[in-house]
C-alpha cells in the first residue's frame, strides 16, 4: 500500500473512533452543542432554576465562582 492510501485509511479510522467515543461517552453525560456537562451540574442548575425565590447578585468573577462551587 502507498503512504497516501494508508494515511487516508488512518484518517477514516480516527473519524470512526471519534464517533464511537462520542456515542459511548454520551450515554453517561448530558451533551450540548457547546460541550459536555456533568449530570450533577445539570441537576443542580435545573433545581436552582425551579426555585423562584432564589436570586443572587454578584459583581465579580470571584463571587460568581464562590456561588457555583457551593
- Condensed to tens digits (0 to 9), the pLDDT of residues 15-69 reads 888 888 777 765 555 556 666 777 777 788 888 777 766 667 778 888 888 877 7
φ, ψ of residue 26 in degrees (nearest 5): -70, -20
Q: What is the pTM of this model?
A: 0.36
Q: Are 31 and 41 in contact (CB under 8 A)?
A: no
- Report residue 29 as a C-alpha cell: 453525560
| Domain boundaries, position 55 | 3-69
Distances (CA, A) of 51 to 24, 46, 55: 33, 9, 9
Q: Extract the C-alpha cell encoding 20.
A: 464511537
- The structural domain count of the chain equals 1
The per-residue pLDDT for 16 is 87
Task: In whole angstroms, give the CA distance from residue 19 to residue 37.
Answer: 18
For residue 3, the SS3 value is helix
Amino acid at each position: 500500500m502507498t503512504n497516501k492510501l494508508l494515511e487516508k485509511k488512518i484518517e477514516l479510522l480516527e473519524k470512526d473512533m471519534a464517533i464511537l467515543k462520542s456515542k459511548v461517552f454520551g450515554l453517561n453525560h448530558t451533551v450540548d452543542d457547546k460541550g459536555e456537562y456533568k449530570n450533577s451540574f445539570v441537576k443542580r442548575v435545573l433545581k436552582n432554576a425551579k426555585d423562584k425565590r432564589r436570586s443572587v447578585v454578584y459583581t465579580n468573577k470571584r463571587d460568581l465562582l464562590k456561588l457555583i462551587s457551593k
